[in-house]
Chain A
Amino acid sequence: MASGPTTRRTFEPWDDPKSKPILRVSSVSKSYGSVTAVDQLSLDIHRGEFFALLGPSGCGKTTLLRMLAGFERPDTGRIELDGVDMTAVPPYRRPVNMMFQSYALFPHMSVEGNIAFGLKQEGLPAREIKTRVAEALALVQLPDYGRRKPHQLSGGQRQRVALARSLVKRPKMLLLDEPLAALDRKLREETQFELMTIQEQVGITFVIVTHDQDEAMTMASRIAVMDRGRIAQVAPPTEIYEQPNSRYVADFIGSVNLFEGNYVGGDGAPTMRCAEAGCDLSLAQPLLVAPGHRLWVAIRPEKLEISREPPPPGTLNCLSGVVWDIGYLGDFSTYRVKLDSGKIVSAAEANRMRLTERTISWEDRVYLRWVPQAAVALLS
């Protein structure tokens, strides 16, 4: 697997116009009574992707996943898998398998019985079923657990059995509904990397639903951030974090400081007039909007430089305020700084030295600055 990381870095089929998506969702809607769960949603997922649907509860991500599995029928729109229309195909005829949040193991069957169940439905010969069940158990590192019943397994082991059961049929796409939600933190982090390794080994397209941004950021090749039944942004994790396309996405992933203001045109030095900041903020690039247009500047706490020394006059993007609160997180310290306008801004600083004495303390006057390229201008 020496070439693993390299291939992953260059794996960008969504940018390749010749790549045909394995899954094509076109303007799919689903309502329950007066509640619209999924609203005119379109999405392409490519072969071999590890795709995450991320959003708060009630954003429609689970409904979308259940429509992909066939448990819900879309009101309008079309779902195509590998070029075949799946919209009206029942779940038991779709070449797609799902791993459930509750694992949904069959309590009256052994681990082997659970894993073999899907293969038996295909009517495979008993010998082949046996070898494939053994392979699947080896894949999830539970080779000696075949005879056990689900209630004789720990939560982590059940999770593996559920994964083996959903992979053993070699589906075109594996759907995972919050697969790690029931595990404790430590196990969850280990399992994240294990899932990625397994996905690389089997080469199946994974679509995972999660509300945990760390999980999505760690595992996914691309993330779709969902908001009230729509997709707010689809992009690789770095792009989602560094170039969010809206305040919603910027705010949902990680923490962010948002400044509201109006665009001031300018040929060389585009700026935003901002009352909250108390000064004009420089932007990295000119925007294609009329002067006076409302916009927001988003800046991540760790991209702010915090200092007690006043910067030299003429420094761009420099704010001043007093330290309101300090949060010590071990690896990072978060400073909450109250600007003269009353706005609170967070700045994070890595604790590179062992902290014996704080150089910045409560009520200190501090200066916050950033280079224009560190911030993102948002229009919505």
Chain B
Amino acid sequence: MRRGLTPINLTALTLGFAFLYVPIFLLIIYSFNESKLVTVWAGFSTKWYGEMARDDALIAAALMTLKVALLSSTVATVLGTLAGVLLARFGRFRGRTLFSGMIYAPLVMPEVITGLALLLMFVAMGLARGYFTVMIAHATFAMAYVAVVVQSRLATMDRSVEEAALDLGCPPFKTFLVITLPIIAPAVIAGWLLAFTLSLDDLVIASFTTGPGSTTLPMKIYSQVRLGVTPEINAISTILVGIVTIGVVAASLVNRRAALRRERDERLAFAKT
């Protein structure tokens, strides 16, 4: 079979990517529009970026979103790593199937339901809703993603490396810190980046669990759009797209580099015996 770009798969590729990315490119292009009307092009300008920077409410929302994303992804990474280690390392304990099922559930649970359930819980606990509750909600669902990433890395890691550390007199928890964690670090970092981006662009769960005065950026954008789209929204959206893209690309690069290095080490191991 001929590989490479035939006219047919070139068309398929173009159409597919156009379908995915034309709307986003339009948004980015219109963020540099001079006109106040979003749909009418009136020349290039960066004035809406300046406008955006002077919008205190928008900046506050952006900072709030960043704070929530940083905190929640860190909490999710710690908890998700622990869950991943538990699933990958502790064999068949009682309730393992239930536990692993419950870890994966948030991945497929409709966000509306997760959001509603969290809201009900926060109300029942009498927690004042604000950035703290949003942070907890984001940590809850992002943790599942981290657990999956970490668990799959641990599954391919040679267990006897940890046993060797124990054998040489290193107690279990220290072994985890000085041996296991450095080896799985790329997966943990990738998990953190994933959690960070998930938190950054979440609208549904945040709107369920937030309270007055704590508006995240996606919520702010959504509410402004309902009053009419301004080029200012395009500008902030462009920045958001940029951050998310960087996050996702970084996560996959970190993972890919680690996989490549691992592959190279293994190849060397077998080649040079």
Contacts and interface: CB of A to CB of B under 8 A. Distances in A.
Interface of A: 69-71, 90-93, 96-98, 100-102, 104-108, 117-118, 121-122, 150-156, 158, 165-166, 169, 182-184, 187
Contacts, number: 80
Contacts of A90: 166
27 contacts: A69-B163, A69-B167, A70-B166, A70-B167, A71-B163, A91-B163, A92-B169, A92-B172, A93-B169, A96-B167, A97-B168, A100-B160, A102-B158, A102-B160, A105-B164, A106-B161, A107-B183, A108-B183, A117-B168, A117-B170, A121-B168, A121-B169, A151-B268, A155-B272, A156-B273, A166-B167, A169-B169
Given A92-B170, A92-B171, A122-B169, 13 more contacts: A90-B166, A92-B168, A98-B163, A102-B158, A102-B160, A150-B265, A151-B265, A151-B269, A152-B268, A153-B272, A155-B270, A155-B272, A166-B167
Contacts of B160: 100-102, 104
Contacts of A69: 163, 167
Contacts of A121: 168-170
Contacts of B171: 92
B162 to A, nearest CB: 8
Contacts of A158: 269
A351 to B, nearest CB: 32
Contacts of B270: 155
Contacts of A187: 273
Contacts of B172: 92
B248 interface: no
B3 interface: no
Q: In terms of DSSP, what is the predominant structure of the interface of chain B?
A: helix
Q: List the 8 closest A-B pairs by CB distance, nearest first.
A: A155-B273, A118-B168, A154-B272, A121-B169, A151-B265, A104-B164, A104-B160, A100-B160
B269 A97 contact: no
A150 B172 CA distance: 23
A154 B273 contact: yes
B198 to A, nearest CB: 29
B84 to A, nearest CB: 19
Nearest to A187: B273
Interface in B221-273: 264-265, 268-270, 272-273
B194 to A, nearest CB: 23
B165 interface: yes
A65 B33 CA distance: 73
A106 B169 contact: no
Nearest to A155: B273
A183 B273 contact: yes
A69 to B, nearest CB: 6
Given A104-B158, A106-B179, A92 B166 contact: yes
B225 to A, nearest CB: 48
Interface in B10-29: none
